[in-house]
Amino acid sequence: MTCHEMTYLQKLVGEEAHLRKFALRLTRNAADAQDLSQSTILRALEKKDYFEDGTNLFSWLSTIMFNIFISQYRHEKKFAFQHDPDFYLNRIAEESRQENKTDLATVMSRMKDLRPEHRDILVLVCVRGLRYEEVAAKLKIPVGTVRSRLSRARAQLQQMLTPSRNGTADPPPVLSHATNNGRGLSAVRV
């Protein structure tokens, strides 16, 4: 390493604190500022032959830093958001928590109106996330029965939660007795 290169490195190290401050103003993030400072120093080392002695080193370095920053910004704007789900997830408006609690309380109170076998299926599949086969094994019933009970439970719960024409949710249907309709047993509404 020549004496000229040693002097250049010493000057470069002397400007490092100023570069970090400038990078922090550009990025507004300490980690990104550190990365930008390192990229700038690396580029300055690669392009040291372009620096003219007797000129302002910080001015030259800040120009390099600004150009790197703009290039990264343009690249992120063009490509990063196309495949980054966080960008889209952060833009989704969050509903009020009070409304969510009220909705949950309504669903829970309506679930109490379901028949126990329907309520159990809903809890196991929709709340606990068990697969149909796991529910069937746990309740010792066929998988087809799990599917049909779940379908009926969802439909009944949906009906109870859907506002009728007068603006209130329909009351739960009252099931009186089972009849044989030729295809098996079914409940009769009263």
Task: Tell me the domain boundaries of the chain.
Answer: 3-91, 97-176
Q: Which two tokens stand for residue 188?
A: 């009769």
Residue with tokens 């409304």: 99
Pick among 3.50.50.60, 1.20.120.420, 1.10.10.10, 3.30.420.40: CATH of 97-176: 1.10.10.10
Helices and strands of the chain, counted as H and E runs = 10, 2
HSE-up of 45 (CA within 13 Å, CB side)?
A: 13
The string of pLDDT tens digits covering residues 9-40 is: 888 889 999 999 999 999 999 999 999 999 99
The string of pLDDT tens digits covering residues 132-184 is: 999 999 999 999 999 999 999 889 988 888 876 655 555 555 444 444 444 44
**What is the CATH T-level fold of the domain 3-91, as seen in this structure?**
Rna Polymerase Sigma Factor; Chain: A (1.10.1740)
Does this model's pTM top 0.95? My answer is no
Question: Matching CATH topology for 3-91 and 97-176?
Answer: no
- Separation between Cα atoms, residue 141 and residue 178, nearest integer Å: 19
- Separation between Cα atoms, residue 88 and residue 127, nearest integer Å: 26
Helix (H) or strand (E) holding 149: helix 143-161
